Amino acid sequence: MMEKKVEIVLVGTHHFAYQKDVLMDKQNEIIELVDFLAAFNPGKIALEWEKSEQEELDKGFTKSEEDYEMHEIEQVGFRLATKLDRKAVFAVNWAGPLTQEEMVTLNQSIQEDYPNIWQAVEAFGKKSGGINPDQTLLESYRKLNNPELTKDLEEMYLSFLAVEKNGQNIGVSFLSKWMERELTIVKNIIEILEKPKERILLIVGGDHVWMLKKLFEGKGWTVINPFEK
């Protein structure tokens, strides 16, 4: 009999703050999404929230549902933990040294000097989209977590390796800092494990899924895509 491994239910999420107007009409669909995820019955729920701000997250978790802000941390993470009667949620994010200025510089350099990469970035943006008002929220999440889209995202990110500006490898610098962030998220999840056979559900921005999946599998953990049919 095979020994059961740590299981990660990996949920790439939309960031609700960018589409509050659409989501105001999707309260029932948020509940539907939470009910869907609850069926995976994770022992712990990990969230893309700064680990250093766990105390603030704990305080937010005590709010009643009608006071939740339109944020995936609260609307999905808190609701899911409450539904499953989990007594805590876990902050596992680390923003790291990557600055907004660096991301803007990378973006501008790609637009100005790397038309093929920029074309791929624009094509990916159209393909991935955001929360579609004409689809259920569950369908939007299924699209965001489609393995083919995740592979396209990986190829797009790795294309940044070629980007230079003023003799500096700014694409390599960006990806090294991105990798450091992802490694730290994995480390933070390791630190909340209490036994070798836990199932943890992680809610994290969709852009993180491609690398985190590789790192979790590299650890020998089982990664579950809840939206994969």
| Confidence check: pLDDT of 3 > 80 | no
Does this model's pTM top 0.85? My answer is yes
Average pLDDT over residues 117-124: 96
List C-alpha distances in Å: 191 to 8, 35, 46, 164, 196.
14, 27, 11, 37, 12
pLDDT tens-digit readout, 60-103: 999 999 999 999 999 999 999 999 999 999 999 999 999 999 99
Which ranges of 10-169 would DSSP assign to H, the alpha helix? Answer: 20-23, 27-38, 54-61, 72, 79-83, 100-113, 115-128, 137-144, 147-159
Mean pLDDT of the chain: 95
pLDDT in tens, 164-204: 999 999 999 999 999 999 999 999 999 999 988 899 999 99
Cα atoms in the Cβ-side hemisphere of radius 13 Å centred on 205 = 16
Is a pLDDT exceeding 60 seen at residue 2?
A: no
How confident is residue 4, by pLDDT bands cut at 50, 70 and 90? low
Asked if 164 and 80 count as a contact pair (C-beta separation under 8 A), the reply is: no
Q: Exposure of 122 by Cβ count < 10 A (0-12 exposed, 13-18 middle, 19+ buried)? A: exposed
Give me the mean pLDDT over the 161-166 stretch.
97
Residue 161 makes CB contacts below 8 A (sequence gap 6+) with 171, 172, 175
> pLDDT at position 11, please?
98
Is the CA virtual torsion 42, 48, 49, 54 positive or negative? positive
Question: At residue 224, does pLDDT exceed 90?
Answer: yes
pLDDT of residue 129: 84
Q: How far apart are CA 166 and CA 51, in angstroms?
A: 36
pLDDT on residue 163: 98
The distance of Cα 10 from the centroid of its chain, to the nearest Å, equals 8
What is the pLDDT, as a whole number, of residue 229? 76
In contact, 211 and 178? CB cutoff 8 Å: yes
The mean pLDDT value for 23-28 works out to 94
Q: Tell me: the pLDDT tens digits for 131-142? A: 999 999 999 999
* H or E, element range at 162: none
Report whether pLDDT(35) > 80.
yes
Find out whether 109 and 167 touch, Cβ atoms under 8 Å: no
* Residue 196 pLDDT: 82
Q: What pLDDT is attached to residue 1?
A: 40
Predicted pLDDT at 213: 98
